[in-house]
Amino acid sequence: MRGRWLVALYPARWRARYGDEFQALLDDEPVTPSLVLDVIRGALDAHATSLPSGAIAMRPRTPALVSILAVLLVLPAVTFLTAAMVRSLQPTKYQPAHAAQVIFDAFAALPATAIWLLLGLAPLVALVLAVLVAWRRIRDDAAAREDLAAFAEGWRRILHQPTLVLAAVAFIASAGVLAFAVTHAIAG
Amino acid sequence: MPRRRDIQPPDPGLLILASLSSGPKHGYAITQDVRTFAGVALGPGTLYGAIARLEDRGLIEAVEPADRRRPYRLTEAGRQSLESQLSVLERLTSTALGRLASA
Protein backbone atom coordinates (compact mmCIF):
# COMPACT_ATOMS: atom_id res chain seq x y z
CA MET A 1 0.00 0.00 0.00
CA ARG A 2 1.52 3.24 -1.16
CA GLY A 3 1.07 6.52 0.62
CA ARG A 4 -0.51 5.19 3.81
CA TRP A 5 0.98 8.14 5.63
CA LEU A 6 -1.02 10.40 3.34
CA VAL A 7 -4.30 8.81 4.47
CA ALA A 8 -3.15 9.25 8.07
CA LEU A 9 -3.14 13.03 7.55
CA TYR A 10 -6.93 13.04 7.49
CA PRO A 11 -9.17 13.21 10.58
CA ALA A 12 -10.15 9.87 12.11
CA ARG A 13 -13.82 10.22 11.22
CA TRP A 14 -12.93 11.04 7.65
CA ARG A 15 -10.70 7.95 7.46
CA ALA A 16 -13.46 5.79 8.89
CA ARG A 17 -15.74 6.86 6.06
CA TYR A 18 -13.42 7.32 3.08
CA GLY A 19 -10.10 5.79 4.18
CA ASP A 20 -10.32 2.45 2.34
CA GLU A 21 -11.46 3.83 -1.01
CA PHE A 22 -9.03 6.75 -0.73
CA GLN A 23 -6.20 4.26 -0.10
CA ALA A 24 -7.37 2.23 -3.12
CA LEU A 25 -7.18 5.37 -5.25
CA LEU A 26 -3.68 6.18 -3.98
CA ASP A 27 -2.61 2.62 -4.85
CA ASP A 28 -3.57 3.35 -8.47
CA GLU A 29 -1.71 6.67 -8.69
CA PRO A 30 2.04 7.27 -8.73
CA VAL A 31 3.03 9.32 -5.68
CA THR A 32 4.33 12.59 -7.12
CA PRO A 33 5.03 15.93 -5.40
CA SER A 34 1.87 17.43 -6.88
CA LEU A 35 -0.20 14.50 -5.60
CA VAL A 36 1.29 14.91 -2.13
CA LEU A 37 0.50 18.64 -2.15
CA ASP A 38 -3.03 17.92 -3.32
CA VAL A 39 -3.60 15.39 -0.55
CA ILE A 40 -2.15 17.70 2.10
CA ARG A 41 -4.46 20.46 0.93
CA GLY A 42 -7.41 18.03 1.03
CA ALA A 43 -6.45 16.89 4.54
CA LEU A 44 -6.21 20.49 5.78
CA ASP A 45 -9.60 21.18 4.25
CA ALA A 46 -11.07 18.08 5.93
CA HIS A 47 -9.72 19.22 9.31
CA ALA A 48 -10.89 22.80 8.79
CA THR A 49 -14.42 21.94 7.78
CA SER A 50 -14.82 19.34 10.54
CA LEU A 51 -16.97 17.54 8.07
CA PRO A 52 -16.48 15.38 5.67
CA SER A 53 -19.89 14.63 6.59
CA GLY A 54 -20.99 12.63 3.67
CA ALA A 55 -22.18 9.75 5.73
CA ILE A 56 -24.95 10.49 8.15
CA ALA A 57 -23.17 8.50 10.82
CA MET A 58 -20.31 10.99 10.66
CA ARG A 59 -22.43 14.07 11.20
CA PRO A 60 -22.01 15.56 14.61
CA ARG A 61 -25.28 14.99 16.39
CA THR A 62 -25.03 17.86 18.83
CA PRO A 63 -26.06 20.64 16.40
CA ALA A 64 -29.12 18.66 15.31
CA LEU A 65 -30.16 18.04 18.93
CA VAL A 66 -29.59 21.70 19.83
CA SER A 67 -31.72 22.75 16.85
CA ILE A 68 -34.54 20.47 17.98
CA LEU A 69 -34.23 21.85 21.52
CA ALA A 70 -34.43 25.42 20.19
CA VAL A 71 -37.63 24.59 18.28
CA LEU A 72 -39.16 22.94 21.35
CA LEU A 73 -38.25 25.96 23.50
CA VAL A 74 -39.88 28.42 21.15
CA LEU A 75 -42.95 26.27 20.44
CA PRO A 76 -45.09 27.38 23.44
CA ALA A 77 -44.54 31.05 22.59
CA VAL A 78 -45.43 30.46 18.93
CA THR A 79 -48.54 28.53 19.98
CA PHE A 80 -49.58 31.33 22.32
CA LEU A 81 -48.99 34.10 19.77
CA THR A 82 -50.85 32.18 17.03
CA ALA A 83 -53.77 31.57 19.39
CA ALA A 84 -53.80 35.23 20.41
CA MET A 85 -53.78 36.35 16.79
CA VAL A 86 -56.51 33.95 15.66
CA ARG A 87 -58.59 34.85 18.70
CA SER A 88 -58.38 38.56 17.94
CA LEU A 89 -59.09 38.18 14.21
CA GLN A 90 -61.98 35.71 14.07
CA PRO A 91 -65.43 35.49 15.65
CA THR A 92 -65.34 33.13 18.63
CA LYS A 93 -68.13 30.89 17.32
CA TYR A 94 -65.85 29.89 14.47
CA GLN A 95 -64.08 26.68 15.47
CA PRO A 96 -60.42 27.75 15.08
CA ALA A 97 -61.10 30.82 17.22
CA HIS A 98 -62.72 28.62 19.84
CA ALA A 99 -59.62 26.43 19.96
CA ALA A 100 -57.50 29.58 20.10
CA GLN A 101 -59.58 30.83 23.04
CA VAL A 102 -59.02 27.54 24.88
CA ILE A 103 -55.25 27.80 24.35
CA PHE A 104 -55.26 31.46 25.34
CA ASP A 105 -57.22 30.68 28.53
CA ALA A 106 -54.84 27.82 29.38
CA PHE A 107 -51.89 30.21 29.16
CA ALA A 108 -53.74 32.88 31.13
CA ALA A 109 -54.33 30.36 33.94
CA LEU A 110 -50.61 29.72 34.35
CA PRO A 111 -48.67 31.40 37.17
CA ALA A 112 -46.84 34.58 36.21
CA THR A 113 -43.42 32.89 36.57
CA ALA A 114 -44.35 30.12 34.13
CA ILE A 115 -45.64 32.66 31.60
CA TRP A 116 -42.42 34.64 31.95
CA LEU A 117 -40.37 31.47 31.43
CA LEU A 118 -42.37 30.20 28.44
CA LEU A 119 -42.89 33.50 26.65
CA GLY A 120 -39.74 35.36 27.64
CA LEU A 121 -36.80 33.25 28.69
CA ALA A 122 -37.43 30.17 26.50
CA PRO A 123 -37.59 32.11 23.19
CA LEU A 124 -34.49 34.06 24.24
CA VAL A 125 -32.55 30.85 24.92
CA ALA A 126 -33.88 29.39 21.65
CA LEU A 127 -32.64 32.45 19.80
CA VAL A 128 -29.14 32.16 21.29
CA LEU A 129 -28.99 28.41 20.51
CA ALA A 130 -30.19 28.96 16.94
CA VAL A 131 -27.61 31.69 16.34
CA LEU A 132 -24.85 29.49 17.79
CA VAL A 133 -25.76 26.47 15.63
CA ALA A 134 -26.06 28.61 12.50
CA TRP A 135 -22.80 30.42 13.20
CA ARG A 136 -20.88 27.19 13.74
CA ARG A 137 -22.35 25.62 10.63
CA ILE A 138 -21.52 28.63 8.49
CA ARG A 139 -18.01 28.78 9.95
CA ASP A 140 -17.27 25.07 9.45
CA ASP A 141 -19.12 24.08 6.30
CA ALA A 142 -18.02 25.57 3.00
CA ALA A 143 -21.07 24.11 1.23
CA ALA A 144 -23.36 25.86 3.73
CA ARG A 145 -21.58 29.14 3.05
CA GLU A 146 -22.06 28.62 -0.69
CA ASP A 147 -25.76 27.86 -0.18
CA LEU A 148 -26.19 30.94 2.00
CA ALA A 149 -24.44 33.14 -0.56
CA ALA A 150 -26.67 31.73 -3.33
CA PHE A 151 -29.74 32.35 -1.15
CA ALA A 152 -28.68 35.95 -0.46
CA GLU A 153 -27.93 36.48 -4.13
CA GLY A 154 -31.38 35.15 -5.06
CA TRP A 155 -33.08 37.60 -2.67
CA ARG A 156 -30.90 40.45 -3.89
CA ARG A 157 -31.98 39.78 -7.46
CA ILE A 158 -35.65 39.51 -6.50
CA LEU A 159 -35.55 42.77 -4.52
CA HIS A 160 -34.02 44.51 -7.51
CA GLN A 161 -37.15 43.72 -9.52
CA PRO A 162 -39.80 46.21 -8.27
CA THR A 163 -42.52 44.65 -10.46
CA LEU A 164 -42.01 41.28 -8.83
CA VAL A 165 -41.92 42.76 -5.32
CA LEU A 166 -45.13 44.75 -5.90
CA ALA A 167 -46.85 41.69 -7.41
CA ALA A 168 -45.83 39.62 -4.35
CA VAL A 169 -47.14 42.31 -1.96
CA ALA A 170 -50.42 42.51 -3.91
CA PHE A 171 -50.74 38.71 -3.89
CA ILE A 172 -50.10 38.35 -0.14
CA ALA A 173 -52.40 41.26 0.77
CA SER A 174 -55.27 40.11 -1.45
CA ALA A 175 -54.92 36.49 -0.28
CA GLY A 176 -55.03 37.69 3.36
CA VAL A 177 -58.10 39.86 2.80
CA LEU A 178 -59.88 37.07 0.92
CA ALA A 179 -59.07 34.52 3.63
CA PHE A 180 -60.39 36.92 6.29
CA ALA A 181 -63.59 37.58 4.29
CA VAL A 182 -64.21 33.88 3.59
CA THR A 183 -63.67 33.03 7.27
CA HIS A 184 -66.22 35.62 8.35
CA ALA A 185 -68.67 34.53 5.65
CA ILE A 186 -68.47 30.90 6.82
CA ALA A 187 -68.77 31.87 10.46
CA GLY A 188 -71.54 34.37 9.89
CA MET B 1 -3.38 31.40 -27.67
CA PRO B 2 -4.16 31.55 -23.93
CA ARG B 3 -1.61 30.06 -21.59
CA ARG B 4 -2.75 26.96 -19.73
CA ARG B 5 -2.46 28.68 -16.35
CA ASP B 6 -4.80 31.44 -17.56
CA ILE B 7 -7.64 28.95 -17.96
CA GLN B 8 -9.39 28.19 -14.69
CA PRO B 9 -10.39 24.51 -14.47
CA PRO B 10 -14.13 23.98 -13.85
CA ASP B 11 -15.36 23.34 -10.32
CA PRO B 12 -14.43 19.77 -9.25
CA GLY B 13 -18.00 19.21 -8.02
CA LEU B 14 -19.40 20.01 -11.45
CA LEU B 15 -16.86 17.73 -13.11
CA ILE B 16 -17.81 14.86 -10.79
CA LEU B 17 -21.53 15.38 -11.40
CA ALA B 18 -20.87 15.43 -15.14
CA SER B 19 -18.84 12.23 -14.90
CA LEU B 20 -21.53 10.43 -12.89
CA SER B 21 -24.22 11.46 -15.37
CA SER B 22 -23.24 8.44 -17.48
CA GLY B 23 -23.62 6.02 -14.54
CA PRO B 24 -22.06 5.07 -11.20
CA LYS B 25 -18.28 5.26 -10.91
CA HIS B 26 -15.67 4.89 -8.18
CA GLY B 27 -12.99 7.48 -7.45
CA TYR B 28 -10.37 6.18 -9.87
CA ALA B 29 -12.89 5.83 -12.72
CA ILE B 30 -14.07 9.41 -12.08
CA THR B 31 -10.52 10.78 -12.32
CA GLN B 32 -9.92 8.88 -15.58
CA ASP B 33 -13.24 10.00 -17.05
CA VAL B 34 -12.70 13.65 -16.07
CA ARG B 35 -9.20 13.54 -17.52
CA THR B 36 -10.63 12.23 -20.80
CA PHE B 37 -13.61 14.53 -21.30
CA ALA B 38 -12.35 17.72 -19.62
CA GLY B 39 -8.58 17.39 -19.73
CA VAL B 40 -8.45 18.07 -15.99
CA ALA B 41 -6.38 15.95 -13.61
CA LEU B 42 -8.25 15.75 -10.32
CA GLY B 43 -5.87 14.92 -7.48
CA PRO B 44 -7.09 12.46 -4.82
CA GLY B 45 -7.39 15.22 -2.19
CA THR B 46 -9.42 17.47 -4.48
CA LEU B 47 -11.55 14.55 -5.66
CA TYR B 48 -12.50 13.29 -2.21
CA GLY B 49 -12.99 16.80 -0.82
CA ALA B 50 -15.54 17.37 -3.57
CA ILE B 51 -17.10 13.91 -3.16
CA ALA B 52 -17.58 14.53 0.58
CA ARG B 53 -19.29 17.87 -0.09
CA LEU B 54 -21.51 16.51 -2.85
CA GLU B 55 -22.53 13.60 -0.66
CA ASP B 56 -23.18 15.93 2.26
CA ARG B 57 -25.45 18.05 0.07
CA GLY B 58 -27.32 14.97 -1.14
CA LEU B 59 -26.24 15.42 -4.76
CA ILE B 60 -24.52 12.03 -4.98
CA GLU B 61 -24.79 8.80 -2.99
CA ALA B 62 -22.57 5.81 -2.41
CA VAL B 63 -23.40 2.46 -3.96
CA GLU B 64 -22.59 -0.78 -2.15
CA PRO B 65 -18.91 -1.49 -2.93
CA ALA B 66 -17.79 -4.76 -4.49
CA ASP B 67 -14.25 -4.27 -3.10
CA ARG B 68 -12.37 -1.35 -1.53
CA ARG B 69 -13.50 0.91 -4.34
CA ARG B 70 -16.87 2.44 -3.54
CA PRO B 71 -18.88 3.66 -6.54
CA TYR B 72 -21.03 6.79 -6.41
CA ARG B 73 -24.09 7.74 -8.38
CA LEU B 74 -26.15 10.86 -8.97
CA THR B 75 -29.24 11.43 -6.85
CA GLU B 76 -32.30 13.14 -8.31
CA ALA B 77 -31.18 16.39 -6.63
CA GLY B 78 -27.74 15.91 -8.19
CA ARG B 79 -29.26 15.44 -11.63
CA GLN B 80 -31.30 18.63 -11.22
CA SER B 81 -28.28 20.56 -9.92
CA LEU B 82 -26.18 19.39 -12.89
CA GLU B 83 -28.90 20.36 -15.39
CA SER B 84 -29.28 23.75 -13.76
CA GLN B 85 -25.52 24.46 -13.75
CA LEU B 86 -25.13 23.28 -17.34
CA SER B 87 -27.98 25.45 -18.59
CA VAL B 88 -26.30 28.51 -17.00
CA LEU B 89 -23.00 27.57 -18.63
CA GLU B 90 -24.76 26.98 -21.95
CA ARG B 91 -26.35 30.45 -21.85
CA LEU B 92 -23.04 32.00 -20.88
CA THR B 93 -21.18 30.19 -23.65
CA SER B 94 -23.67 30.92 -26.43
CA THR B 95 -23.96 34.58 -25.39
CA ALA B 96 -20.20 35.12 -25.19
CA LEU B 97 -19.48 33.27 -28.47
CA GLY B 98 -22.26 35.21 -30.22
CA ARG B 99 -20.84 38.52 -29.00
CA LEU B 100 -17.32 37.56 -30.03
CA ALA B 101 -18.56 36.59 -33.47
CA SER B 102 -20.39 39.87 -33.97
CA ALA B 103 -17.63 42.06 -32.53
pLDDT, tens digit, 9 for 90 and up, residues B44-60: 999 999 999 999 999 99
Nearest alpha carbon to residue B62 among A52, A63, A2: A52
Interchain pair B27, A24: CB under 8 A: yes
Interchain pair A54, B56: CB under 8 A: yes
Compute the mean pLDDT over every residue in chain B, rounded to the nearest whole number: 89
Residue B36 pLDDT > 70: yes
Mean pLDDT for the stretch of residues A64-86 = 86
Residue A54 pLDDT > 50: no
Between these two residues, B99 and A86, which has the higher pLDDT value? B99
Nearest alpha carbon to residue B51 among B26, B34, B33, B69: B26
Between these two residues, A180 and B1, which has the higher pLDDT value? A180
- pLDDT tens, position by position, B91-101: 999 999 999 99
Interchain pair B52, A52: CB under 8 A: yes
Residues within 8 A of A (CB atoms), B 32-91 only: 43-49, 51-53, 55-57, 62, 65, 67-70
* pLDDT score, position A157: 83
Rounded Cα distance, A155 and A81, in Å: 28
Interchain pair B28, A18: CB under 8 A: no
Q: Which residue of B lies nearest to A43 if distances are taken between CA atoms?
A: B45
Interchain pair A51, B31: CB under 8 A: no
- CATH topology for the B4-102 domain: Arc Repressor Mutant, subunit A (1.10.10)
Between these two residues, A188 and B39, which has the higher pLDDT value? B39
φ and ψ at A110, to 5 degrees?
Answer: -70, 155
Compute the mean pLDDT over every residue in chain A, rounded to the nearest whole number: 81
> How far does B79 lie from chain A, in Å, by closest CA?
17
The pTM is what? 0.51
A interface test, pick of B31, B56, B60, B63 with most A CB neighbours within 10 Å:
B56
> How far does A24 lie from chain B, in Å, by closest CA?
6
Between these two residues, A86 and A15, which has the higher pLDDT value? A15
CA distance between the termini of chain A: 80
Structural contact between residues B60 and B17, judged by C-beta atoms closer than 8 angstroms: yes
- Nearest neighbour of A46 by CB, restricted to B43, B44, B49: B49
Q: Is residue B16 very low, low, confident or very high in pLDDT (cuts 50, 70, 90)?
A: very high
Residue A124, number of CB atoms within 10 A of its CB = 13
Between these two residues, A119 and A188, which has the higher pLDDT value? A119
Mean pLDDT for the stretch of residues A67-82 = 88
Rounded Cα distance, A125 and A118, in Å: 10
Q: Is residue B29 very low, low, confident or very high in pLDDT (cuts 50, 70, 90)?
A: very high
Q: Which residue of A lies nearest to B13 if distances are taken between CA atoms?
A: A143
Rounded Cα distance, A94 and A103, in Å: 15
Residue B70 with chain A: CB contacts under 8 Å: 20-21
Counting residues of chain A whose pLDDT is more than 90, the rounded percentage is 7
Q: What is the DSSP letter of B69?
A: P
* pLDDT score, position A55: 44
Q: Is residue B2 very low, low, confident or very high in pLDDT (cuts 50, 70, 90)?
A: low
* pLDDT score, position B68: 83
φ and ψ at A164, to 5 degrees?
Answer: -65, -45
Core vs surface per residue A157-184: b (16+ CB within 10 A) or e? eeeeeeeeeeeeeeeeeeeeeeeeeebe
- Which residues lie closer than 8 Å to B42 by C-beta, 6 or more apart? B12, B15, B16, B30, B31, B34, B35, B50
Rounded Cα distance, B77 and B69, in Å: 24
